Copies of this chain bind each other. A is one copy, B any other.
C-alpha cells in the first residue's frame, strides 16, 4: 500500500525483502526481522553478519525488509523522487506500517510461521525503526535490538554539540597532534581559498576531480572534509572492513599518522590532510581523483535521506570549535527549513517526531536493547543508560557504529563479544516469553 494512512491514494508497490530460512525450525521457530534503513537492502544484508551468525543458534529465519524509497522498493519507480507529491509517502510511519503488514503477510503465508515470535533488528536509522517498531507494534514484534540508534538526536533532548565532540575525541585518542591538525586545517583552507592561486593549489593538492572556483566551492571542500572525519569516526572498526569505504583496521589511527604536527605551515599541513583523506577515499588505490560530492558508498540513498531529514528526521547538530575540532557553526533551524523548502517544497516539523515517538518519555515500553559503541558519534543521541529492566542500554567500549551487528571477527574486542552475548541472551528470553505456554 503506497499510503497506509489514507484511502484516496489506493495504489500499491512492490517492496523487496530477502529471506534466509536454512536454519529455521519450521514449527514456529523465531524470525529475526531486519528493519531496513536508508539504502539498498542487499548491502545491509551483507553488512549485518550478526544475524547470520546467530541464525543457527536461535533456529531463526532471517528476513531483511527494504525501506520504501530505497534500493528497488520505489513506490512510483523512477518518478519516486520527482516532486513533493511523489515523495509524500516517505516517512518512518509508512515504513513501520510496511513492516507490520509484511510480518502479518509472512506469518499467514509461510507454513509453520503463524506463531513465530518476531524480533526486530536494525542499526542506525534502522535501529530507530527497530525500537519504534516494538514501541508502536508490540503485537507484531516481541522485542527489538536497536543498534547505534540515535532516537534522542531530536529537539533539545541532547546537546547539539555532543556528536562532533565524540568525533573529535576519537581523533584525539588516535594520535598526538591529530585533532589539532584538523582543527588548524580550516583556517589554512580559508587563507588559501582567498586567492585564485590558492584555490588552484588546493584543487591540485587534493586531487579534486572538479577544480575549486570560488569561496563557495571552498566551503563545499570543508564540508566534505568534515563529513569524511565523521564517517571515519563511524567506521573506526578494529579490523580491515568495507562499509562506507574499504579501509584498514582502526582507520583513524592510520589517518592520524599523517597528522602529527599541527604547527606546520598551511600548505604542509594541508598536504598531510590530503594524505589522510586519500587514505579514506583511495585505500585500494583505484581513484584517479577525489570527488567532493561523495563521501560514502552509493548503496546509501542520499536523496531519500535528505528528504527525510527535511521533514521528520530533523537532527540538530552544531560545533563550537572549543569542544570539537570543527569550525564553529550554530544549529540554524530557520536556514535549514528554508533550504528544505528550496529543495523539496516542504518544511520540516521538528516537534512531530517527539509527539509521535515520545522523546525521553518511553519507560512504559518493553523488550528493547539499545546498543551503542562509545567511539560512535551517533551514541550522543542514543540511549546509553538502562531505562527499566526491559529497556536496556549496552555500551560497547572501543566500538564504532553498530559494530555489534557485524560478523564475528577474530580481532573483535572483548567488549563487542560480550555485548553480542548479552543481546543473544535477551533475545532468547523474549522468544521464551512469547511461547503460548508461558
Considering the chains assembled together, what is the distance between the CA atoms of A34 and B264 in angstroms? 68
Considering the chains assembled together, what is the distance between the CA atoms of A104 and B350 in angstroms? 14
Q: Say whether, besides A10-B347, A346-B10, A347-B10, A352 and B4 are in contact (CB < 8 Å).
A: yes
CB distance from A26 to the nearest CB of B (A): 22
Q: Identify which of residues 301-342 in chain A touch chain B, using a CB-to-CB cut-off of 8 Å.
A: 311-312
Considering the chains assembled together, what is the distance between the CA atoms of A33 and B364 in angstroms? 19
A7 and B88 within 8 A (CB) = yes
A299 adjacent to chain B (CB < 8 Å): no
Of the listed stretches A52-60, A89-97, A378-386, name the one at the interface; the rest are far from the partner chain: A89-97
Q: Say whether, besides A137-B358, A139-B358, A5 and B94 are in contact (CB < 8 Å).
A: yes
Q: Identify which of residues 356-415 in chain A touch chain B, using a CB-to-CB cut-off of 8 Å.
A: 356, 358-359, 361-362, 364-366
In the complex, given contacts A5-B91, A9-B88, what are 16 additional A-B residue pairs having Cβ atoms less than 8 angstroms apart? Answer: A1-B349, A1-B352, A3-B6, A4-B352, A5-B6, A6-B89, A7-B311, A7-B312, A7-B349, A8-B84, A8-B87, A10-B346, A100-B356, A101-B352, A101-B355, A104-B354
Pairs A–B under 8 Å by Cβ, sample size 22? A4-B356, A5-B5, A5-B93, A6-B88, A6-B89, A6-B91, A7-B84, A7-B87, A7-B311, A7-B349, A8-B85, A8-B87, A8-B346, A9-B88, A10-B347, A97-B355, A97-B356, A104-B355, A137-B358, A139-B358, A139-B364, A364-B366
A207 adjacent to chain B (CB < 8 Å): no
A238 adjacent to chain B (CB < 8 Å): no
B136 and A136 within 8 A (CB) = yes
CB-CB nearest in chain B for A102:
B355
CB-CB nearest in chain B for A91:
B5
Considering the chains assembled together, what is the distance between the CA atoms of A352 and B97 in angstroms? 9
CB distance from A67 to the nearest CB of B (A): 16
Considering the chains assembled together, what is the distance between the CA atoms of A351 and B10 in angstroms? 15
List residues of A whose CB falls within 8 A of some B CB.
1, 3-10, 84-85, 87-89, 91, 93-94, 97, 100-101, 104, 136-140, 311-312, 345-347, 349, 351-352, 354-356, 358-359, 361-362, 364-366
Contacts of A85 in B (CB 8 A): 8
CB distance from A216 to the nearest CB of B (A): 28
CB distance from A158 to the nearest CB of B (A): 17
Considering the chains assembled together, what is the distance between the CA atoms of A215 and B311 in angstroms? 55
Considering the chains assembled together, what is the distance between the CA atoms of A312 and B365 in angstroms? 26
Contacts of A140 in B (CB 8 A): 355, 358
Q: Say whether, besides A136-B136, A364-B138, A364-B139, A100 and B5 are in contact (CB < 8 Å).
A: no
Considering the chains assembled together, what is the distance between the CA atoms of A29 and B104 in angstroms? 41
CB-CB nearest in chain B for A6:
B88
Contacts of A359 in B (CB 8 A): 139
Contacts of A89 in B (CB 8 A): 6
Contacts of A366 in B (CB 8 A): 364
Considering the chains assembled together, what is the distance between the CA atoms of A88 and B100 in angstroms? 22
CB-CB nearest in chain B for A103:
B355
CB distance from A161 to the nearest CB of B (A): 25
